[in-house]
Amino acid sequence: MHQFGPETAGCIDEYKTDARFKIIEQPWQEARGVGIARRRCDELYDGEDFYLQIDSHMRCEESWDDRLETEWTALGDTQAVLSSYPPAYRYDNKDQEIFVSSEPNRLVVHDMFMGDIPVFFGKALPEDAPRRGAFVAGGLQFGPGTICREVPYEPRICFIGEEIVHSLRLFAAGYHIYSVDDQVISHLYIRSENQKNAHHFWKDFTENEALKEVYADMNKLSYGVVRDYLSVDQTPVSPEMLARFENFAGVDFARRFVHLDTYATPPLPMAVDASWKQSAISPQKQT
């Protein structure tokens, strides 16, 4: 998915006639959020064994594909999805890329956006910690290609909330999340003055008079969709499935609490029934 401005128009033209690539292009002003972009990529699926979902502005190590497939195969779980936050890279004042190593991590809830939408932090895992997790990172997922058909991305989500909703939908479809051990892909999290062509989706929209209202409408719809998924009365998955996910992941969506042991990253499930909610705590911001 190539959402371009004048600075990147035509930069991937050489791949348009390459049979290995399927490219969707549109001017950035026509973009309507991460959900519809990822859904359109899912719709390109044509029976491939695996799918890889990443963000833009990422860097891959040599043989990244073989290494991810090797790690996935070693799990011995045909419903496995490898996903966690990739390590970072950045630019120095000489325009050189600097890579920052980090430990494998598990996504944990560390805040509630607007008071009720869980957002995540990558909690470092000890070497011998279990790798099973509950939440996927939007910017790195590797698993069976069938997910593109069985759990296509929710197209109405603009940005905030994509990870919690997709995690719930994968759980409901019987898929299992595992943290990535072999961190072969790095992500540019922080834009800087040393990065060429640095743009932010939300900044470009809010600074454009013609698109401010479009962006506001996108987010209004998106937040409503996320809240419906997490509401026992409105969820598109069954109320029973939502309750199972709450116990597995250790998140009380109605009360905006998390399991007492969340930040110790114990083996999952966090609980087998709802009794844990009596001692649940508010999310703790991680650093």
Our measurement of the distance from residue 198's CA atom to the centroid of its chain's CA atoms, rounded to an integer in Å, reads: 21
pLDDT tens per residue across span 209-254? 999 999 999 999 999 999 999 999 999 999 999 999 999 999 999 9
Is 23 within a domain? no
Give the structural domain span for 184.
Answer: 31-279
The average confidence (pLDDT) of the chain is: 95
pLDDT tens per residue across span 21-58? 999 999 999 999 999 999 999 999 999 999 999 998 89
Residue with tokens 């966090």: 270
pLDDT tens per residue across span 168-197? 999 999 999 999 999 999 999 887 666 666
Is 91 within a domain? yes
Q: pTM here?
A: 0.95
- The amino acid that residue 53 corresponds to is Q
Is 249 within a domain? yes
Is 149 within a domain? yes
pLDDT tens per residue across span 102-147? 999 999 999 999 999 999 999 999 988 999 999 999 999 999 999 9
**Would you call the peptide bond into 269 cis, given omega within 30 degrees of 0 as the criterion?**
yes
Is 140 within a domain? yes
pLDDT value of position 229? 98
pLDDT value of position 128? 86
Give 53's strand partners: 141
Is 13 within a domain? no
Is 218 within a domain? yes
What are the angstrom distances between the C-alpha of 95 and each of 63, 81, 122, 191, 269? Answer: 25, 34, 27, 12, 44
CATH number, domain at 209? 3.90.550
Q: Count up the domains in the chain and report the number.
A: 1
